[in-house]
Every structure is written in C-alpha cells, then in structure tokens.
C-alpha cells in the first residue's frame, strides 16, 4: 500500500463529509471509530516505514498545475512520521475524553476535517500544498474556539485566525519568490520542497527568504513577541481545542523551521542562530515567569507551552544532530504532555466550571487518581528523567551547549523555573486541606477520563525509558539533513557551525 499517505490525509475528510449523514446520537461513536481507524493506519505507516532509510518514503507525486509548478507531492521521513502519528493519537484521545454535548455532531465533523489538515501539513512536500493545509487548519480551529469557547471566544478566535493568517501570507510571498528564483535558475516552475533543497542561494537571498518564512512560522510557534494570541486561544477554547492546538498546531511552526528554513537556507540559519537563541531564551524565562503569575490553571499551562516551545526552537538552531533530534523529539513530548495537561484541566473544569487555582486546594485528598496522573504529567513537563519530557530537553540543552555555554545555562534555568510554576500549581490545587466546600464532594476520574488519560501516561513513561524506536528514525533523518546542509552551505561560518555527526549516512 504505497499511497497510504493519501489515505491518511483524505480518509478523515471523507469520513467528515459522510459524518453529515450520521445521526446526532451516534456521531460521537462514529468520530471515535474513524479516529481509531486513522490512528491504526498511522501506526501501520510506522510499521511499514523503513527506519534505516533517512530519505523521503511513501512519496506520491501528481502534477496539479504543471504550468505553475504546483503538484500534489507528499511523502514522509523520520522527522514528520511521528508528528503524524501523534496528530492521529491526540485527535482520538481528544474525542474520547470530550465532554461536550452541545451540537456534538458539528464538533466531530470539524475535528475530522481538522485532522485532515494537520496530517496534510506534515506530509506535504510541495510548498503550495503545505500552505494549503496550513491555512485550512485555521478554519476548523476558528470554529472550535468560536463555537464552543468561553465568554471571549469570538475575540480569541478572530485574533488567532488573523494573526496566523497575516504571518503566513508573508510566508506565501517568500514561497512565491523562492519559486521565482528556482524558475530563474532552472527555467522550470516548481514548488516541490525537494527541488528547492537543491538550490544554492546567495546569502542575501537566503536572509530575505528566511525572514519571510520566519514570520509564518514564528507566529505559529508562537515565538516571543508574537505569542499573545496563544493565551487567549487557550483560555477561551474548549478542552478539545486546547489539546489539539497545543499538541499539534503549534508544532507546525517548529516543523516548518526544520522542514524549510534549515535545509533551504543553511547559511542564513547559521547567521540567525544568535537572534533566535535570544528570542528563545526570552520565551523560556519570560513566559515561565508570566506563567508563575497566573491565577488560572489553564493559563499556566498555556504559557508553559510557550516556554517549552522556546526549548524546541533552541534545539532546532543548535545545528547538530543532538540538538535537532532532541527538539523534534521534544515536539512529540510536549504534544503528549501538554495535551494531557489540558485534558486534566478539562476534567476539573467539567466538575467545577472554574479553572482558578484559588477555588481548589487539597484535591489530592478528594481525587487521588486524578492527582496521581496530574503528578506524572507534571513531572514529565518539568523534564524528569525516565519520562518523555527529559529526553528531548536534555538533548536540546546538550546540543545547544556546543553553540554557546552561556546561553545554554540561561536556557537551562527552565528546569528550575519550570519546576517553580508547575509545583506551585500542584501545591495550590492539590495540596493543603480541602477548604472549599464545593470540592469535598468531587468525584474522581470516571472510566471515560481514565481510559483516555492512561494511554498517555503509558506513552510518557515508555518513551521516557525506551525512546529508541522513535528517536532512531528521527535521528537518521536529522543526520542526513545535516550532512546535506553542510554540503550545501557556502559561507565558511556555516560550514564550521553545522556539525555533521560522525555516525551519519548520506545526504537527502
């Protein structure tokens, strides 16, 4: 089954269309079934994926607009493989744990379309197709936030949409310019990323293009100072929205840096290391402090994801296999962990209809199971060894140390301040006596919630103890990319900066 990727992309969409027919009562079951099949397909993809091969696999190529160089061109490599699987997983788990009852059918259909766009972004190898799914993913999210969100939902959703939309339009100009340059040099129109890889650009072009793409990605990540849409989006979105947003949508930005910026503009990327590292460190420290000041658990986690995305950004620009593989892995870990944390917040929100820490306290006595799972996720979030959170964070910091010890130490403070706000949350809401009457009678996790959370716990621990099956394919592709970047780089600084791992195989 070589066209499994197309199946992966369009199966949810078709299911979504058919979903209109399904009766309201059974819509939820329908959605879960579809998502489960999708997950199974993605796992099958993993199963039939050749980990040793660093290049693109399951490639499909159908010309759409030859005159304009646009083609339906998709494929997957170690870097994108697991993000796809995670997208499928989080959609399924999100649906399972979903507590929404208000027009559930629309929600299911929306989610299925969203799933299509998410997977589409990560398999796309043609810039226009990438952009297509990238933009489309905004629409369902807009609807989810806007239709099921909190009091400020309209403001939040529009802000989310316009902010990202504006950024990506600049990116679009970059893409068009890239195509133009490609046309000038080769006389052919092409938006295929792999074609673009082959292009060796003069440094000033690289810088401009890097900047153009930067806007699109940075706003999505979101990097400081473009991050302010995120707290609103998370604050207003329903649980499921936050889960998908944090777990998958944010990763599009960082993925974009790995997929586009690095291999296409190696020299520019190297020049940009310091500015980006500085921004990332601001993200890490500043947002962590802001998170500590929050009164609302969900906001804490929202800001904490900005902080964690800072770590990921840092790793990407470490320019060595340790760092980049680390941050790709960290994307997965953050996806799972923050997703789980948002679900956990959702659990308590369903019970008490508030997210303010001051309302809680002593939950550990009332809801032990809940406290345990929250505790585990929290420890994963602060990067405790033998949880998924440690591997990525450790590799990223390790990798970036080679670039700049000082900056690494600054970024490393995340393990301290991260612990500060996370433990503060835990202490305020789970420890101490149960003061609030309303909390005395809370029920612990019910079956639905348990079954949707336990798998995540297992993954968190499994990948913490034995990350190899995931890390290896990632690492192979990353090493290959570095080799390729190193060959492609033209400036001396870049050649020095880009560290090819001794254990690398050939280029892309």
Nearer to another protein, 48 or 469 (CB): 469
**54-57: long-range contacts, CB 8 A cutoff, minimum separation 24:** 54/78, 54/476, 54/477, 54/479, 54/480, 54/505, 54/506, 54/508, 55/477, 55/480, 55/508, 56/125, 56/194, 56/508
Q: With CB under 8 A as the contact rule, which of the stretches 23-31, 192-200, 247-255, 380-388 interacts with another protein?
A: 380-388
Give the nearest distance from C-beta 45 to another protein in angstroms: 22
Does position 442 interact with another protein (CB under 8 A)? The reply is no
Nearer to another protein, 157 or 242 (CB): 157
Does position 438 interact with another protein (CB under 8 A)? The reply is no
Q: What distances in angstroms separate CA 17 from CA 3, 25, 105, one per listed residue?
A: 21, 17, 12
Burial 253-270 (b: 16+ CB within 10 A, else e): bbbbbbbbbbbbbbbbbb
At 278, which helix (H) or strand (E)? helix 266-282
String of contacts with another protein for each residue 42-81, x by CB under 8 A = ----------------------xxxxx-------------
Question: How far apart, in whole angstroms, are the C-alpha atoms of residue 498 and residue 265?
Answer: 12
Question: How far apart, in whole angstroms, are the C-alpha atoms of residue 149 and residue 394?
Answer: 36
Give the nearest distance from C-beta 92 to another protein in angstroms: 25
Nearer to another protein, 231 or 263 (CB): 231
Give the nearest distance from C-beta 44 to another protein in angstroms: 26
Q: With CB under 8 A as the contact rule, which of the stretches 7-15, 81-89, 227-235, 352-360 interacts with another protein?
A: 227-235
Nearer to another protein, 41 or 112 (CB): 112
Nearer to another protein, 7 or 419 (CB): 419
Give the nearest distance from C-beta 28 to another protein in angstroms: 19
Q: Segment 179-198, which members bind another protein (CB under 8 A)?
A: 179-180, 183
Give the nearest distance from C-beta 475 to another protein in angstroms: 5
- Reading the block at residue 287, the tokens are 């947002």
3-state class (DSSP) for residue 126: strand
3-state class (DSSP) for residue 137: coil
Question: How far apart, in whole angstroms, are the C-alpha atoms of residue 15 and residue 123?
Answer: 19
Q: Segment 305-334, which members bind another protein (CB under 8 A)?
A: 320-322, 325-326, 329
CA 410, distance to chain mean position in Å, is 24
Give the nearest distance from C-beta 169 to another protein in angstroms: 4
Binding residue (CB under 8 A) for another protein from 14, 162, 278, 490? 162
* CB-based contact 280:313 (threshold 8 Å): yes
Does position 104 interact with another protein (CB under 8 A)? The reply is no
In SS3 terms, 25-50 reads as: HHHHHHHHHHHHHHHHHHHHHHHCCC
* CB-based contact 321:478 (threshold 8 Å): yes
Q: Give me the sign of the Cα torsion angle 85, 40, 97, 112.
A: positive
* CB-based contact 319:273 (threshold 8 Å): yes
Give the nearest distance from C-beta 40 to another protein in angstroms: 28
Nearer to another protein, 243 or 397 (CB): 397
Does position 214 interact with another protein (CB under 8 A)? The reply is no
String of contacts with another protein for each residue 385-424, x by CB under 8 A = xx---xx--xx-xxx-xx--x--xx--xx-xx--xx--xx
Binding residue (CB under 8 A) for another protein from 153, 220, 259, 308? 153
Residue closest to 311 by CA, chosen among 371, 239, 254, 357: 254
* CB-based contact 347:449 (threshold 8 Å): yes
Give the nearest distance from C-beta 110 to another protein in angstroms: 10
Binding residue (CB under 8 A) for another protein from 7, 199, 384, 461? 384
Binding residue (CB under 8 A) for another protein from 32, 136, 207, 356? 136
Q: Segment 283-302, which members bind another protein (CB under 8 A)?
A: 286, 289-290, 292-294
Strand partners, 265: none
Residue with tokens 């399904």: 22
Nearer to another protein, 43 or 409 (CB): 409
Q: Segment 344-373, which members bind another protein (CB under 8 A)?
A: 362, 364-365, 368-369, 372
Nearer to another protein, 96 or 475 (CB): 475
At 405, which helix (H) or strand (E)? helix 405-412
Nearer to another protein, 7 or 501 (CB): 501
Question: How far apart, in whole angstroms, are the C-alpha atoms of residue 279 and residue 375?
Answer: 30
* CB-based contact 266:483 (threshold 8 Å): no
Binding residue (CB under 8 A) for another protein from 36, 60, 211, 472? 472
Strand partners, 72: 62
């Amino acid at each position: 089954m070589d066209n499994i990727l197309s199946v992966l992309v369009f199966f949810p969409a078709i299911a979504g269309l058919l979903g209109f027919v399904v009766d309201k009562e059974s819509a939820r079951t329908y959605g879960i079934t579809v998502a489960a099949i999708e997950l199974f397909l993605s796992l099958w993809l993993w199963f039939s994926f050749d980990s040793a091969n660093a290049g693109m696999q399951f490639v499909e190529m159908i010309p759409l607009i030859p005159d304009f160089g646009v083609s339906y061109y998709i494929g997957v490599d170690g870097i994108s493989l697991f993000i796809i699987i995670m997208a499928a997983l989080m959609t399924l788990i999100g649906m399972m744990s979903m507590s929404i009852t208000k027009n559930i059918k629309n929600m299911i259909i929306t989610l299925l379309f969203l799933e299509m766009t998410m997977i589409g972004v990560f398999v796309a190898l043609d810039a226009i197709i990438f952009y297509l799914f990238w933009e489309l993913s905004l629409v369902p999210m807009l609807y989810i936030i806007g239709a099921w969100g909190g009091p400020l939902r309209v403001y939040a959703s529009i802000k989310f949409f316009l902010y990202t939309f504006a950024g990506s339009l600049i990116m679009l100009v970059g893409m068009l310019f890239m195509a133009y340059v490609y046309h000038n040099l080769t006389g052919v129109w092409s938006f295929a990323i792999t074609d673009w890889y082959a292009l060796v650009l003069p440094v000033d072009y690289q810088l401009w293009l890097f900047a153009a793409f930067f806007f699109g990605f940075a706003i999505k990540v979101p990097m400081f100072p473009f991050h302010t849409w995120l707290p609103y989006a998370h604050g207003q979105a329903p649980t499921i929205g936050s889960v998908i947003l944090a777990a998958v949508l944010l990763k599009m930005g960082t993925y974009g840096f790995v997929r586009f910026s690095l291999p296409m503009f190696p020299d520019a990327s190297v020049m940009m290391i310091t500015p980006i590292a500085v921004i990332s460190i601001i993200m890490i420290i500043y947002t962590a402090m802001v998170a500590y000041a929050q009164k609302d658990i969900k906001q804490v986690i929202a800001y904490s994801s900005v902080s964690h995305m800072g770590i990921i950004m840092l790793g990407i620009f470490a320019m060595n296999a340790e760092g980049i593989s680390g941050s790709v892995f960290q994307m997965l870990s953050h996806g799972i962990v923050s997703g789980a944390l948002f679900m956990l917040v959702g659990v308590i929100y369903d019970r008490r209809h508030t997210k303010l820490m001051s309302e809680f306290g002593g939950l550990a006595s009332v809801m032990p199971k809940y406290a345990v799972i929250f505790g585990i996720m929290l420890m994963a979030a602060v990067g405790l060894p033998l949880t998924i959170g440690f591997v990525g964070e450790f590799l990223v910091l390790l990798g970036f140390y080679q670039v700049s010890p000082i900056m690494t130490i600054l970024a490393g403070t995340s393990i301290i301040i991260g612990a500060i706000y996370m433990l503060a949350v835990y202490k305020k809401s789970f420890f101490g006596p149960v003061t609030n009457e309303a909390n005395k009678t809370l029920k612990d996790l019910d079956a639905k919630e348990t079954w949707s959370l336990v798998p995540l716990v297992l993954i968190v621990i499994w990948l913490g103890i034995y990350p190899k099956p995931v890390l290896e394919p990632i690492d192979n592709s990353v090493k290959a990319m570095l080799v390729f970047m190193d060959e492609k780089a033209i400036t001396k600084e870049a050649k020095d900066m880009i560290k090819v791992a001794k254990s690398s195989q050939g280029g892309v």
